[in-house]
Structure 1
Amino acid sequence: MLASGLSFVGVTGIVRYLGTDLPAAQSAFLRFAFGVVFLLPSLLPLIGRGFAPGAMRLFTLRGVVHTAAVVAWFYAMARIPVAEVTAIGYLNPVLVTLGAALFFGEKLALRRIMAVVVAILGALIVLRPGVREVTDGHMAQVAAAFFFAGSYLFAKRLSQMESAGTVVAMMSLFVTLGLLPFAIWVWVPVSPAQLGWLALVAAFATSGHYCMTRAFTAAPLTVTQPVTFLQLVWATLLGALAFGEAVDPFVLLGGAVIIAAVSYITWREASLKRRAITPAVGETKV
């Protein structure tokens, strides 16, 4: 999880460095196009094999939602501090919890509701509406959090139909296709240096997802989830050292509040699962 966090901070740092020289849709398209190139050896056999009934429709819907999320994220990343993008992004798991209750009928117990309320308070601490200006970059990142949550909900349904590798590969392909017309619409000349940086973004993103998957395999979410808060620490340091962004204690506080709420939900759900599978006293006796 440490390596995953550092990889994703590398992604945000490079996109922040590239700034607004390239339109958000074009930058996002090039990043995902490089990702498809990396995944091409595994994509071709998948397409030839075919998919479960109904999976292609879900792949398409997820591609639309994830495309919107990526454009909003790239737009925000070029306009607001790295730490603020990271802190607001912590809302994703909370929104997924709400979405699972609304669309999948999962029970929304009081503890989940309280954790969601706490996470929203954390987001308000980061944004501080009425105390400072909430820019279009902030609103874009909030929108990105909602769209990413929607994408994860589609991924959850698809994970019951296809393998994890198939879900990731098809997401990259459909997002690239979804971004293509927007990229053509706003296309500007790209320098070799910019292409190189965006290829590195794709490599860091691939590394981040791979390391996260390995972490989830090696340890329970109750162990890995709190470590994600360190990503905010790395992002704050990067913003301060590389881009001269002031360290905002309210962003750190708000991020800590959000991740505390997410960690509580994760810990509580894991505890309930263990309780459900642990046999009662005497059940194992012959």
Structure 2
Amino acid sequence: MRTPGSFSKPTASVTGILWMLFMTLCFVMVNVLVKYVGDGLPVLESAFLRFLLGLIFLIPTLGAVRKARFTPQIWKLTFGRALFHALAMSCWFFAMTRIPMGEVTALNFMNPIYITIGAVFLFGERIALPRIMALIVAFLGGLIILRPGFRAIDPGHLSMVVSAMAFAGSYLIASRLAKLLPAAVVVFLMSVTVPIVIAPFALLHWETPTPHELALLFLTAAFATLGHYSMTRAFACAPQTVVQPVVFVQLIWSVSFGYLLFGEAIDPFVILGGAMIIAAISFITWREARKKTT
């Protein structure tokens, strides 16, 4: 018997897919705006201003923050996450100034793979052979994108690899914080502590931003907030096995916008590697969902 909120309803799945499509567009717009800012500002300053300007979107969470109880463990986890997230954001901003948008997006798809590996080594989670095979496919997809030995590896590529790994560390800590605090409070703590971590480094090479640059970074924060909200709504409407493959559309957006707006070449190896990574992630997600229902 189906419940009113059952995921089996086709309309719910369609709604979830539409929310996920909107999420992919939001996150690609973040890439576009960061690309427009480019190297006009120091990387760390851009990352700092992106978070600082985004604090306005946290006003609705203040009620939940006031009710939360913060323990030493929570503060330790929060600042540990801030270090990972600050590193991830700084490397991501740098990569956006060096390599095409499609490659940034495709390499960022490795993030869930690093999370899976991190959960095994840090939390002792078990991993079965099918998941190991999926990880190998994703790793091969990453090699197809980078093609080491067949072309020069730009510092932007290495920076994006570090960024995806650091994001994985941030999300692993977030999963622990989510068991101790409401989701809104976890987001608030990250958004406040990351600029605190970046600020001293940003001030070392501070350059006064123009109104145009500030506007672009404010829009970056707005689209990032919309993207995270849309992803949350998508997961609320439909299971991850339905909406996860839609993430691949983000690579299509990135390659298309990169070509149309910045004259970046369309690289079939990036499309192929990205497809392999998304296929591996979707398979892992499907297996996890299946295990929970059996």
Describe the SS at the equivalent of 2:93: helix
Alignment check: 8 A CA contact 1:52 1:162 kept? no
2:141 equivalent in structure 1: 122
> TM-score, normalized by length of structure 1?
0.94
Describe the SS at the equivalent of 1:228: helix
**Match of residue 50, structure 1, among 69, 80, 94:** 69
1:185 equivalent in structure 2: 204
Please give the alpha-carbon distance, in whole angstroms, between the structure 2 residues aligned to 1:49 and 1:267.
34
2:57 equivalent in structure 1: 38
2:215 equivalent in structure 1: 196
1:224 equivalent in structure 2: 243
Counterpart of 2:156, as a letter, is G
How is 1:98-117 mapped onto 2 (pairs within 5 angstroms)? 98-117=117-136
Counterpart of 1:245, as a letter, is E
**Match of residue 159, structure 1, among 175, 178, 189:** 178
Moved over 6 A (4+): none
1:37 shift after superposition: 2.4
Please give the alpha-carbon distance, in whole angstroms, between the structure 1 residues aligned to 2:146 and 2:246.
23
Cα pair distance change 1:148/1:2, threshold 3 Å = same
1:104 shift after superposition: 1.2
Please give the alpha-carbon distance, in whole angstroms, between the structure 2 residues aligned to 1:256 and 1:197.
30
Describe the SS at the equivalent of 1:54: helix
1:90 equivalent in structure 2: 109
Alignment check: 8 A CA contact 1:226 1:260 kept? yes
1:99 shift after superposition: 0.7
Describe the SS at the equivalent of 1:101: helix
1:265 shift after superposition: 0.4
Root-mean-square deviation over aligned CA pairs: 1.2
Please give the alpha-carbon distance, in whole angstroms, between the structure 1 residues aligned to 2:68 and 2:175.
22
Q: CA-to-partner distance for each residue in 1:168-223, whole Å, 9 max, x for gaps?
A: 11111111111111110111121000000000000000000000000011110001
Cα pair distance change 1:2/1:94, threshold 3 Å = same
Counterpart of 2:169, as a letter, is G
- For structure 2, the 5+ residue unaligned runs are 1-19
Alignment check: 8 A CA contact 1:43 1:170 kept? no
Counterpart of 2:83, as a letter, is V
1:284 equivalent in structure 2: none
Counterpart of 1:98, as a letter, is I
1:29 shift after superposition: 0.5
1:247 equivalent in structure 2: 266
1:283 equivalent in structure 2: none
Bigger CA drift: 42-51 or 251-260? Answer: 42-51
**Match of residue 71, structure 1, among 82, 87, 90:** 90
Identity of aligned residues (%): 51
Number of aligned residue pairs? 275
1:114 shift after superposition: 0.9
Please give the alpha-carbon distance, in whole angstroms, between the structure 1 residues aligned to 2:278 and 2:42.
31
1:134 equivalent in structure 2: 153
Please give the alpha-carbon distance, in whole angstroms, between the structure 2 residues aligned to 1:29 and 1:48.
27
Cα pair distance change 1:227/1:195, threshold 3 Å = same
2:37 equivalent in structure 1: 18
1:38 shift after superposition: 2.0
- For structure 1, the 5+ residue unaligned runs are 276-286
